[in-house]
Amino acid sequence: MAEIVIKNVAKHFGAFTALHSVDLTIADQEFMVLLGASGCGKTTLLRIIAGLETPSEGEVWIGGRRVDHLPPRARGIAMVFQNYAVFPHLTVFENIAFGLRMAKLSQTEVDRRVTRTAELMHIEQLLKRYSGELSGGQRQRVAVARALAMEPDVILMDEPLSNLDALLRLEMRAELKGVLAESKTTTIYVTHDQVEAMSLADRISVMNGGYIVQADRPTEVYRNPAARFVGSFIGNPPMNFLPAKPDGAGRWLVAGLDFDGPNARAAEFAIRPEDLHPAESGLRAEVRVVEPLGPHVLVTAQVAGQPFRAIVESDRQIAPGETLTLAPIPERIRWFDPETQKALP
């Protein structure tokens, strides 16, 4: 049982604030992804949970125990580093056994755990090698095996796949998901890659400027962004935004079209590119660039002078310069407050 509770955690580096009073609860055995651009504070938060960084304020609880004053070794965590941090002077076997030997386990238990995790990560044939003789992907496997062998309550991963090439990343991603689900540990996984976040996470915490902007299931984060930032950060291409003019109670005028919307003083209209389809009536889009993606076509256009993207079926020829009429799916339209940047109901 290792629920993680982060209460009011803040971190200042001199005058710079990396984290503004973050609150987050991660359930036992949950796979939580911290997602954000570089400098958003996600790695700082992970390092505070690991004990590699001390919070300026706040509390960290793991499994019902307050740990923010404890050193990393006393927290029941294991960590996988971005550059793997495989010890170069030890064999793969001794790397995986390192923590077990520190815990003074018997040789038979060390052998058993190393063999089991090595099999799990498919590196049993590499046990006698040194890290200098391994590829990046193999080192990654050793780093994960070393963490799993500890049988920790919590595994912390700091961009573990970012140094691998694209194909290997895809393979490792699927494998990690399977292995971690089986190990029944709580996982916190830091990444800037939204596809990785979507595919791995039970829940995603989207971070920006030292705040957690939204923490929810991947589909929720994608479909119902809590803030304009989430919509503009997640999705490839991201959400389209258009200014809206009030047109009576709950009615809004967007690029000359009338929509049902929230009761608010001001609002911004938002729609995902794939939630548009060519129709008789809709938003008038002047096509600038057309990019075929196989089954779909990515159209970059301008609507009312604003950049606007749409993903449409490839059964119709579209040429730059042409004007498309794009109808948004009504239940997929989202509204944001232009001042607070928060989602409007």
In the complex, the residues that contact other proteins under the rule CB under 8 A are 50-52, 71-73, 77-79, 81-83, 85, 87-89, 98-99, 102-103, 146, 150
Count of other CB atoms within 10 angstroms of residue 106: 9
Closest CA to 322 of 284, 274, 295, 296: 284
Nearer to other proteins, 65 or 332 (CB): 65
Nearer to other proteins, 24 or 143 (CB): 143
Query: What is the biggest distance separating any 2 CA atoms in the chain, rounded to whole angstroms?
Result: 77
In the complex, the smallest distance separating the C-beta of residue 14 from other proteins, rounded to whole angstroms, is: 11
Cβ-contact 275, 329 below 8 angstroms: yes
Nearer to other proteins, 155 or 244 (CB): 155
In the complex, the smallest distance separating the C-beta of residue 53 from other proteins, rounded to whole angstroms, is: 10
In the complex, the smallest distance separating the C-beta of residue 206 from other proteins, rounded to whole angstroms, is: 26
In the complex, the smallest distance separating the C-beta of residue 27 from other proteins, rounded to whole angstroms, is: 22
CA atoms of 108 and 106, how far apart (whole Å):
5
Which amino acid is residue 163, in one-letter code?
A: N
- Per-residue tokens: 23: 């609150």
What ranges in 208-252 are assigned the alpha helix state H? Answer: 218-223, 228-233
Nearer to other proteins, 86 or 206 (CB): 86
Cβ-contact 333, 244 below 8 angstroms: no
Nearer to other proteins, 88 or 321 (CB): 88
Residue 287 belongs to what H/E stretch? strand 276-292
| Count of alpha carbons within 13 angstroms of residue 317, beta-carbon side | 1
In the complex, the smallest distance separating the C-beta of residue 141 from other proteins, rounded to whole angstroms, is: 15
In the complex, the smallest distance separating the C-beta of residue 156 from other proteins, rounded to whole angstroms, is: 8
Nearer to other proteins, 71 or 295 (CB): 71
Please provide the size of the chain in residues: 345
Give the alpha-carbon dihedral of 283, 284, 288, 293, to 10 degrees: 40
CA separation (Å) from 174 to 148, 169, 177, 178, 199? 16, 9, 5, 6, 8
Residue 298 belongs to what H/E stretch? strand 296-303
In the complex, the smallest distance separating the C-beta of residue 47 from other proteins, rounded to whole angstroms, is: 9
Cβ-contact 34, 205 below 8 angstroms: yes
Nearer to other proteins, 155 or 254 (CB): 155
In the complex, the smallest distance separating the C-beta of residue 223 from other proteins, rounded to whole angstroms, is: 36
- Per-residue tokens: 266: 């001001």
Nearer to other proteins, 147 or 227 (CB): 147
